[in-house]
Amino acid sequence: MSKKLLTIFSVLLIAGFVLSACASPTSVATEAPAVTEAPAATEAPAATEAPAATEAPAATEAPALNPQNSVDDWASIIKQNLDGSEITVAFATHPSTDAFQKMTDDFTAKTGIKVNWEVMEGAALKDKQLLEFTGHTGKYDVLMMDGFWISEYVPKGVVLPLDDLLSDSTKTPAWFDYQDILPAFRNGLGMYQGKTYGIPTAGESRFLAFRKDLFEKYNQKVPTNLDEMLAVSQFFNGKEPGLYGMAFRAQKGIYFASGWMTLVYNFGDGFVDQKTWKSRMLEPDVKQSLEYFTELLKTAPPDVLTFTHEEATSAFVSGKTAMWYDATALVPWLEDPARSQIVGKIGYAKPPTGPAGDGGVLAGWNMAISSDSKKQDAAWAFIVYMTSKANAMTYIKNGGVPSRTSILKDPEYQANNPSAQAQLEAFAASDALVQRGLNWIPQTPVLGKLLDRIGYYGALPLAEGMSYDEALKAADQEVTDILSEVK
């Protein structure tokens, strides 16, 4: 064999050995002695150990960048994409707002998103939100939206639909857990005509709070029906200097209508027929409910016709009234030593029943994204963080309002919240209304107009001595005219 051919043969033999060594570590071990001097043979083990797949940090640490893992992992990704963003949120004065504000610094630190807060009384909030929308200023990114407003905001295009965001796991990680929000709140507060426009943050019913010390002092029974509640309220009215029977929202206009709605379903089917969308203002049960409400308000402080939920709560926690009938969401204010003079003296009870049975309230607040927002990703990140199941207990410990099943069933929450059982009974009363085929908040785009006029005329018997029949007849005419606007 020529020297040239011998050289070629040797090169081919060595190359074949090296290829087989890369393909099969086992064959290297068994065949290595046949080429004892070949450098590849002695270095082959290094070749088998060289692949970094088993040690590569990128492979083992990749899940840390997965938003599903934890709030911190998600926040790191948000910060990479949105660091330096700035959003403005428009919220109402409310315990839930107080809680969210306490969580804001942590949100900003984790995500890099700065939050500007504008907080105002509820009626002023709606006016401001609609004013900014009409001018399409783009000032607000996140809106605190009352369940009363959704049937007006959606047809006008004030807020964005959220279903696509909820179904996108990169935008809404599993730890958010939308299904954990109470079904009644998801469907009754955040949805309109089958689509989601708001994430419930402070779902509420209404129930009775009372001064345990006064009830014990005067040996009074906690009322279980409306007749008993009126009688007890009349008993306490003037019983002691500066003491009144009941604190109730009743400011002329929408707040009066809201207060009246607390009771109207205990007497019948409400202000409008929710199937035909005709006025019910002249029905006997509506008149009966107004007569009852007016008599109850006569046991309240004399300026009750100026009371929103804030003034009603202030009257109760300052010791002016023996009872208070309002939102379950306001319990944090009642139990706040910095705000309440009667902490430790308050008892809670389910909503009293009426002639038509239970007709509990189902209302509350949502977070929504303004359709004019130019920072929708940052707005949604704020909503996800603040309203998630992962942060729900932090929200509650900061004075927030439970809207999630996991919180209401949590032993720690139940042990530390004296109103927990009464709240569950209040939500059961709300469900009783649903079983009757009624929405506590009628879903019509003219609801705001309706309630303003209903609340105006409803207050007149107490405010001006107008007869019930005259007030209801005038209300019926306006309700009929307003409903005719809906095409």
Where is mean pLDDT largest: 60-69, 184-193, 264-273, 443-452?
264-273
Within 8 A by CB and 6+ apart from 190, the residues are 150, 181, 196, 197, 198, 199, 200, 366
What does the block give as tokens for 465?
Answer: 């001595």
Instruction: Report the mean per-residue pLDDT for the chain.
Output: 87
More confident residue, 338 or 7: 338
Q: Which residues of 297-322 are buried (b: 16+ CB within 10 A; e: fewer)?
A: bbbbbeebbebbbbbbbbbbbebbbb
Within 8 A by CB and 6+ apart from 227, the residues are none
Contact 369/161 with Cβ under 8 angstroms? no
How many degrees, rounded to 5, is the angle at CA 286 between CA 302 and CA 124? 55
**Amino acid 435: pLDDT:** 80
d(CA 476, CA 487): 19
**Amino acid 157: pLDDT:** 97
d(CA 74, CA 101): 21
More confident residue, 353 or 44: 353
pLDDT at 371 exceeding the cut of 70: yes
**Amino acid 449: pLDDT:** 94
pLDDT at 52 exceeding the cut of 80: no
Domains of the chain in start order, with CATH, are 3-49 (no CATH), 70-204+363-408 (3.40.190.10), 206-359+420-483 (3.40.190.10)
Looking at residue 286, its amino acid is V
How many degrees, rounded to 5, is the angle at CA 188 between CA 186 and CA 189? 70
d(CA 106, CA 191): 29
Q: What is the pLDDT of residues 383-426, one digit of tens each?
A: 999 999 999 999 999 999 988 989 988 998 888 889 988 988 88
The arithmetic mean of pLDDT across residues 327-348, rounded, is 95
Query: How distant, in Å, are the alpha carbons of 12, 35, 40 from that of 17?
Result: 9, 9, 8
The arithmetic mean of pLDDT across residues 34-48, rounded, is 40
> Which of 348, 321, 185, 346 is CA-nearest to residue 249?
321
More confident residue, 228 or 359: 228
Q: What is the pLDDT of residues 144-200, one digit of tens each?
A: 999 989 999 999 999 999 999 999 999 999 999 999 998 878 887 899 988 999 999
The arithmetic mean of pLDDT across residues 438-451, rounded, is 91
What does the block give as tokens for 186?
Answer: 């998801």
pLDDT at 429 exceeding the cut of 70: yes
**Amino acid 67: pLDDT:** 78
Indicate the range of 8-17, 108-117, 272-281, 342-351 predicted with least confidence: 8-17
**Amino acid 432: pLDDT:** 83
pLDDT at 27 exceeding the cut of 60: no
Contact 319/240 with Cβ under 8 angstroms? no
Q: How many CA atoms lie within 13 A of 105 on its CB side?
A: 2
Considering Cα of 469, then 475, then 480, then 481, what sign does the dihedral take? positive
Q: How much of the chain, in percent, has pLDDT values that exceed 70?
A: 86
Instruction: Return the SS3 of 57.
Output: helix
Helices 284-297 and 226-236 meet at what angle, rounded to 10? 20
Instruction: Return the SS3 of 350.
Output: coil
Indicate the range of 21-25, 348-352, 368-372 predicted with least confidence: 21-25
Contact 79/111 with Cβ under 8 angstroms? yes
More confident residue, 26 or 226: 226
**Amino acid 370: pLDDT:** 98
**Amino acid 65: pLDDT:** 59
Chain centroid offset of residue 339 CA:
23
**Amino acid 204: pLDDT:** 87
pLDDT at 273 exceeding the cut of 90: yes
Residue 239 has phi, psi (to 5 degrees) of -65, -35
Contact 352/223 with Cβ under 8 angstroms? yes
**Amino acid 339: pLDDT:** 95
**Amino acid 72: pLDDT:** 93
d(CA 269, CA 438): 8
pLDDT at 62 exceeding the cut of 90: no
Residues in the chain: 487
More confident residue, 98 or 48: 98
How many degrees, rounded to 5, is the angle at CA 185 between CA 93 and CA 115? 40
Indicate the range of 32-41, 82-91, 288-297, 381-390 predicted with least confidence: 32-41
Q: What is the pLDDT of residues 72-105, one digit of tens each?
A: 999 999 999 999 999 999 999 999 999 999 999 9
> Which of 440, 9, 393, 366 is CA-nearest to residue 205?
440
